[in-house]
């Protein structure tokens, strides 16, 4: 069995952290005789340097013809890098937006998990953290307020701006199905977040989510208003398993959930299309300030690769093994500099990858 994975190593620390993730995947799947066929392509700053634009048609085509895409972060120092002297449509991030659009990635998945060993980095009090938390935020990525019609007009000498929040039932249904599918692989609980006491789009959201729920009798569904959810995340984060929500609410809540884990180098993410196809990348940026120094934390990318195994290839056992190996290495006291604590052993990017691979 072999899977085709397009690999975008990216800019800054991207190549260092993706190399470690590939090392770990290969080790995790080797026992089953599964092989990953990697095709490396350029996107972002590296593509600008090579081809004069952040995403070429060839790169998009290779990604489309793959089973999944594994990516490091892209972009450079936004103040000093010459990439940011270019017009907006030729800058690194334009490549990422075009790639997401070209691959029809409508569902963004961001887990927020608190490692026992990294509890000190969590800004919440011990009595709130209790036994920790382990949630996934499923955010709709291609509809809603960020993609609705907008205009700014002058009416009777007064400036007025409009943004419209639109969802149709198909857009809601497909993200809801993703959330319920993911819940089936986890603790089987979905909390759908909306503002149904005010917004029509939220009332339709609630109705469609309830319809989808009927096909998943094992999954518990609750609805929660977004303002309450923002409070509950810092009051009782342990109650959440899968949070399903629309684009703007998800944008805000996923950052809040990331913040309470306290460690940017640990946060994985995936953007999914219809079926099993997904693009997997760390939540953090390309950290140009520490690039090429072998000090970046590769764990977010390694955990993103584990998500790829679980959600694109149904290799749940191998994904579990990677996550367990990460926990083990942390429990043994190994830390990259960003999560370093007293009494722990400081290791570099390559060493952290080696340690995790060795425990598989």
List, by residue number, the catalytic residues. 146, 195, 227, 251, 255
Binding ligand NAD (rule: CB under 6 A), the pick from 59, 192, 245, 286 is 286
The footprint of ligand NAD on residues 337-356 (CB under 6 A) is: 338
Q: Which is nearer to ligand NAD, 296 or 306 (CB)?
A: 296
Query: In the structure, how many helices (H) and strands (E) does the chain have?
Result: 12, 14
Give CA–CA dist 45/84, Å, rounded.
Answer: 10
Alpha carbon distance 135, 121 (integer Å): 17
Q: How many residues bind ligand NAD (CB under 6 A)?
A: 22
Residues 348, 227: Cα–Cα separation, whole Å: 41
**Closest approach of Cβ 44 to ligand NAD, in Å?**
7
Element (H, E) at 163: strand 158-163
Residues 92-121 that bind ligand NAD (CB under 6 A): 93, 96
Choices 228-236, 240-248, 277-285, 326-334; region in contact with ligand NAD by CB under 6 A: 277-285
Helical ranges in 185-315 per DSSP H: 200-213, 226-235, 247-261, 299-311
Site string for ligand NAD, 251-270 (x = CB under 6 A): -------------xx-----
Q: Minimum CB separation from ligand NAD for residue 43, in Å? A: 9
Q: Which is nearer to ligand NAD, 144 or 288 (CB)?
A: 288
Whose CA is closest to 308, among 270, 354, 266? 270
Span near ligand NAD by CB under 6 A; candidates 54-62, 245-253, 286-294, 310-318: 286-294
Nearer CB in complex with ligand NAD: 13/219: 13
In whole angstroms, what is the distance from residue 8 CA to residue 205 CA? 34
278 lines the binding site for ligand NAD (CB under 6 A): no
- Report CA-CA distances (Å) from 243 to 77, 163, 206, 229, 345: 33, 25, 13, 9, 35
Interface with ligand NAD includes 43 (CB under 6 A)?
no
Q: Which is nearer to ligand NAD, 170 or 333 (CB)?
A: 333
> Which residues fall within 8 angstroms of residue 22, CB to CB, at 6 or more apart?
7, 36, 38, 70, 305
Q: CB 226 → ligand NAD: shortest distance, Å?
A: 24
By the rule CB under 6 A, 143 interacts with ligand NAD: no
| Max Cα distance, the chain (Å) | 72
**222 torsion bin: left (phi>0), alpha (psi -120 to 50), beta (else):** beta
Strand partners, 281: 269
Give the interface segment with ligand NAD, choosing from 18-26, 254-262, 285-293, 316-324 (CB under 6 A): 285-293
Site for ligand NAD in 48-87 (CB under 6 A): 73-76, 78
Q: What is the CA radius of gyration of the chain?
A: 21
Residue 304 interacting with ligand NAD (CB under 6 A): no
Selected from 192, 202, 271, 297, the binder of ligand NAD by CB under 6 A is 297
- The values of phi and psi at residue 223, to 5°, are -110, 145
Output 67 or 338, the one with its CB closest to ligand NAD.
Answer: 338
Least gap, CB of 77 to ligand NAD (angstroms): 7
**Minimum distance, C-beta of residue 336 to ligand NAD, in the bound complex (Å):** 6
CA distances from 56 to 52, 62, 173, 245, 338 (A): 9, 10, 32, 32, 34
Instruction: Give the nearest distance from C-beta 75 to ligand NAD in angstroms.
Output: 3
As measured in angstroms, the least distance from the Cβ of 55 to ligand NAD is 13
Q: Which residues bind ligand NAD (CB under 6 A)?
A: 13, 73-76, 78, 93, 96, 264-265, 281, 284-290, 296-297, 300, 338
């Amino acid at each position: 069995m072999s899977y085709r994975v397009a690999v975008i190593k990216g800019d800054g620390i991207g190549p260092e952290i993706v190399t470690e993730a590939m090392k770990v995947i290969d080790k995790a799947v080797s026992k089953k005789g599964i092989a990953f066929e990697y095709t490396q392509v350029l996107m972002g700053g590296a593509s600008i340097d090579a081809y004069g634009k952040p995403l070429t048609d060839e790169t998009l085509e290779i990604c489309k013809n793959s089973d999944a895409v594994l990516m490091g972060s892209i972009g450079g120092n936004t103040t000093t890098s010459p990439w940011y002297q270019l017009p907006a449509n030729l800058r690194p991030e334009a490549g990422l937006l075009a790639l997401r659009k070209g691959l029809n990635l409508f569902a963004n998945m961001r887990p927020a998990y608190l490692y026992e060993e990294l509890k000190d980095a969590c800004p919440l009090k011990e009595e709130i953290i209790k036994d920790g938390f382990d949630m996934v935020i499923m955010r709709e990525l291609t509809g809603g307020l960020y993609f609705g019609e907008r205009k700014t007009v002058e009416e009777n000498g007064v400036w007025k701006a409009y943004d419209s929040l639109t969802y149709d039932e198909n857009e809601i249904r497909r993200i809801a199905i993703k959330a319920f599918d993911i819940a089936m692989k986890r603790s089987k609980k979905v909390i759908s977040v909306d503002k149904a006491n005010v917004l029509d789009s939220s009332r339709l959201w609630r109705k469609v989510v309830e319809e989808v729920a009927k096909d998943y009798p094992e999954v518990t569904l609750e609805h929660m208003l977004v303002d309450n959810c923002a409070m509950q995340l810092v009051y009782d984060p342990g109650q959440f398993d899968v949070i399903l929500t629309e684009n703007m609410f998800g944008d805000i809540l996923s950052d809040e959930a990331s913040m309470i884990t306290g460690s940017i180098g640990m946060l994985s993410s995936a953007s999914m299309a219809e079926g099993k196809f997904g693009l997997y990348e760390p939540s953090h940026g390309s950290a140009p300030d520490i690039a090429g120094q072998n000090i970046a934390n590769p764990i977010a990318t390694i955990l993103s690769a584990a998500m790829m195994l679980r959600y694109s290839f149904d290799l749940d056992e191998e994904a579990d093994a990677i996550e367990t190996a990460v926990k083990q290495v942390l429990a043994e006291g190994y830390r990259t500099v960003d999560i370093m604590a007293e009494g722990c052993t400081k290791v570099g990017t390559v060493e952290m990858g080696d340690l995790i691979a060795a425990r598989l």
